[in-house]
Amino acid sequence: MNILEVNHLTKKFGGLTATSDITMNIEKNSITAVIGPNGAGKTTFFNMITAVYKPTSGDILLNGKSLVGLKPHQVSQFGITRTFQNIRLFNDMTVLENVLVGMHQNLKSHWVGTLLQLPHIRRIEENAKIEAYDILKYVGLDKYTNENAGNLAYGAQRRLEIGRAIAAKPKILLLDEPAAGMNPKETDRLTQLIYDLRTKLDVTIILIEHDMKLVMKISDFIYVLDHGELIASGKPEEIRSNKRVIEAYLGKGAVAND
Amino acid sequence: MTSLGALFNKIAESKRNQIILFIAYVLVTGLGLILLPDSTVAFLLLLFSILILYYIDFNLKAKWITGLVILAVIVPFISSFSGSYQTYMEVGTLVGIYCAMALGLNIVVGFAGLLDLGFIAFFAVGAYSYAIFASGQAAKFMPFGHYPLPGGTFWIFILIGAFVAALFGIILGVPVLRVRGDYLAIVTLGFGEIIRILLNNMDHPINITNGSMGIASITPPNFFGISIGSSSQFYYIALCIFLVVIYIVRKLENSKLGRAWKAVRDNEIAAQAMGIPLVKTKLAAFAIGASFSGMMGVVFAAKQMFVDATSFTYLESTIVLVMVILGGMGSVPGVILGAAVVIILRTQVLTNISNWLSSLSATYGIPIPPALSPEKMQLLIFGLLLIIFALYRTQGLIPHKNRKVDVARLERESAELAHKASSGGADS
């Protein structure tokens, strides 16, 4: 069953076509990778799904319902959350608070109730803190609970972004270069985490990644973009030997010379 | 400030000594206030005890009660023995009014990160909403009702002022929130000026605000038959509203809404991606911040018994912003201290230095041009203060600290829940 369907999605910035006519079908509970050289339009594609950009034409369907025209926070409420290529944490808030913000849309604590100190609101907030702490333990950041997010090391910040995203209880999780700047050990931990997310939390994962080892290892399906166009799609082993993909990465002639 | 606290700790290592020293401090300053003829310094030192209290190693509830007793009982009681009782209470009232306003602006600037340079407009809206209806002014354009309204309506007008100001906050917010950063600052500055100029000119074709003549003879508030007219009485009104405002701010700061504000401040795109509606969250900050200002506007109008547009100039907006920046953006105790420092500088210290200088020049025959008196150089002094703080202490007098959670307790509770879940699973 397809949870997300993308039909003929095109985005133009003035005369520049960032992505053109992309069609994808993402299966529920799968791990899908979107790869391609720099400037291929991968992040633009993510930005359209999360409504940061409005597509010029085409449609995005989540369980058959169109997401085009929604506001970013509404897309999030429909169950799609993301992490960012250039880390976007709430730097002046604590690590725990970052995760609590991720839980924002699932918390039913209205501010009027907070002011009146209604007991059930206090309980909601208390439970939210425990849940957030559990998420921190899950991503291995519990010892930084009270630290400001901006003070964390790079790898930890990436993991906090994932923690914050899963706190929103998404159906689909978009990871934009989660392994960028990580050392091999951190990448291994991340791979494990992504596997774990899929099986334990039943989320569908779409990731943009340049680390081919990681991509080939964990993806069920791969889409390859180049210059805004979808040039190939298939299982990892098919992509590995696809001529157009190798050309896109290594340049024309690379295949013939081999 | 922390080094002061460290020094204090060294002198008084035990808790008991701290308390004794603190009581002694309050007694000495109090006695000074009674005995010295011109006791401004003693009065300021007595108020300073609140700051010391903030740094004392003491349990939170006891601190709040002590602070309350000092502000509600000791300060008014001791001041009543001094010759300038009403002056001191006037200063106290002003500090209360501006503290509440600065806390309101702190929500907008410190929590939500929206620079607002026209904040005084909401104060004006609150002040005028009471002034118009509690004087003969309303009779000039209202087709029904008898005006001025009796002083008993003052208490309802505190809420009405809050509501009207919040409404103006939303009216301002809807168009303005399309722009960000510097542009937002400029637009809010414009809004502040528009409100002031409107109030100054709304005497024709329909006379709503009486224009530049201002609105005079505003009915004083009435509390169960007692007419409230003196500063010592307004002091308690300002104190009560101030306490309510602190309560609201403290509760909101660490609530879902408070986190949403800070998230929007730190990173708008990420905040939206986490399901936070941008416009609604920003509007809430504008509305709630404005409402504090509106409430105090009503108190201000009732206290002065006269309002006109000159009380709501751009300078006033700047001064409230100075309070927030000086105290520490986003820090509730900081902003309160900032407001107190600025008001006391304005009303007490600068005037006293000016008086002292002029008496000096009179006795020694040194001519000091009036333009050089510190009272006239407020803008210069606040400007310098801002520059010094921007260079050397960007976080303000008492920097903001995020509330820390008790990790050990979370660990325990999370383990308990996990245990419950697993044993529950075994049963079924």
- What local confidence, expressed as pLDDT, does residue A258 receive? 45
Give chain A positions within 8 Å (CB) of B402. Answer: 92-94, 97, 146, 148
Res B428: pLDDT:
38
Q: Each residue of B397-428: pLDDT tens digit?
A: 999 988 888 888 988 988 888 888 777 654 43
Separation of alpha carbons B407 and A42, rounded Å: 39
- For chain A, give the percent of residues with pLDDT over 90: 66
Residue B171 burial (CB < 10 Å; 0-12/13-18/19+)?
middle
| pTM confidence score | 0.90
Dist CA A31 CA B339 (whole Å): 55
pLDDT confidence tier of residue A255, bands split at 50, 70 and 90: low
| B contacts of A114 (beta carbons < 8 Å) | 251-252, 255-257
* B16 vs B223: which has the higher pLDDT: B223
**Does the structure show a pLDDT above 80 at A211?**
yes
pLDDT digits (tens, 9 = 90+) for B294-331: 999 999 999 999 999 999 999 899 999 999 999 999 99
CA A220 to CA A198: how far, in whole Å? 12
A contact residues 127-166, partner B, Cβ 8 Å cutoff: 129-130, 133-134, 137, 142, 145-146, 148, 164
3-state secondary structure chain B: CHHHHHHHHHHCCCHHHHHHHHHHHHHHHHHHHHHCCCCHHHHHHHHHHHHHHHHCCCCHHHHHHHHHHHHHHHHHHHHCCCCCHHHHHHHHHHHHHHHHHHHHHHHHHHHCCCCCCCCHHHHHHHHHHHHHHCCHHHHHCCCCCCCCCCHHHHHHHHHHHHHHHHHHHHHHHHHHCCCCHHHHHHHHHHHHHHHHHHHHHCCCCCCCCCHHHCECCCCCCEECCEECCCHHHHHHHHHHHHHHHHHHHHHHHCCHHHHHHHHHHHCHHHHHHCCCCHHHHHHHHHHHHHHHHHHHHHHHHHHHCCECHHHHCHHHHHHHHHHHHHHCCCCHHHHHHHHHHHHHHHHHHHHHHHHHHHHHHHHHCCCCCHHHCHHHHHHHHHHHHHHHHHHHCCCCCCCCCCCCCCHHHHHHHHHHHHHHHHHHHHHC
The answer to whether B232 and B85 have CB atoms below 8 angstroms apart is yes
> Which chain A residues touch B417 with a CB distance below 8 Å?
130
**CA B299/CA A93 separation, integer angstroms:** 35
Per residue in B162-201, pLDDT (tens digit) is: 999 999 999 988 888 888 888 999 999 999 999 999 999 9
Confidence tier at B364 by pLDDT (50, 70, 90): confident
Cβ contacts of B395 on chain A, cutoff 8 Å: none
CB–CB of A73 and B278 under 8 A?
A: yes
Burial class (CB in 10 A: 0-12, 13-18, 19+), A241: exposed
Q: Using CB atoms and an 8 Å cut-off, which of residues 327-366 of chain B contact chain A?
A: none
Among B111, B404, B254, which Cα is nearest to A122's? B254
* Mean pLDDT calculated for residue range B37-48: 80
pLDDT at A55 over 60: yes
- Which of A66-80, A203-217, B352-366 comes out lowest in average pLDDT? B352-366
Residue B85 has pLDDT above 80, yes or no: yes
Range with lowest mean pLDDT among A169-178, A223-232, B173-182: B173-182
Interface with A, mutate which of B109, B244, B274 (most A CBs under 10 A) = B274
* Mutation to test the B interface, candidates A43, A78, A96, A97, most B Cβ within 10 Å: A97
Q: Could you tell me the pLDDT band of residue B52, with boundaries at 50, 70 and 90? A: confident
Mutant choice from B107, B109, B256, B282 vs A, greatest count of A C-beta within 10 A: B256
pLDDT in tens, B98-122: 999 999 999 999 999 999 999 999 9
* Spatial separation of the C-alpha atoms in residues B391 and A191, rounded to whole Å: 45
pLDDT of residue A223: 94
Domains of chain A: 2-88+169-257 (3.40.50.300), 90-151 (no CATH)
Selecting from B256, B270, B277 the residue whose C-beta is nearest the C-beta of A109 gives: B256
pLDDT of residue B55: 84
| Type of residue found at A156 | A
Highest-pLDDT range among A108-112, B16-20, B39-43, B102-106: B102-106
* Residue A66: per-residue pLDDT: 93
Q: Where are the domains of chain B?
A: 1-83, 86-363
CA distances B324 to A14, A181, B186, B377, Å, are 43, 39, 18, 20
Residue B195 pLDDT: 93
Percent of chain B with pLDDT over 70: 95
Mean pLDDT of A203-229: 92
Q: Do A93 and B410 touch (CB under 8 A)?
A: no
Q: Exposed (0-12), middle (13-18) or buried (19+): which is B31, by Cβ within 10 Å?
A: middle
pLDDT digits (tens, 9 = 90+) for B266-297: 999 999 999 999 999 999 999 999 999 999 99
Q: Tell me if A88 and B267 make a contact (CB, 8 A cut-off).
A: yes
- Residue bearing the bigger pLDDT, B37 or B386: B386
What CATH number labels B86-363? 1.10.3470
Decide if the complex's ipTM is over 0.85: yes
* Residue A176, burial from CB neighbour count under 10 angstroms (0-12, 13-18, 19+): buried
Query: Considering chain B, what is the average pLDDT of its residues?
Result: 87
Q: Treating both helix axes as pointing N-terminal to C-terminal, what angle do B256-266 and A95-102 enclose, rounded to 10 degrees?
A: 100
| A147, closest residue in chain B (CA to CA) | B404
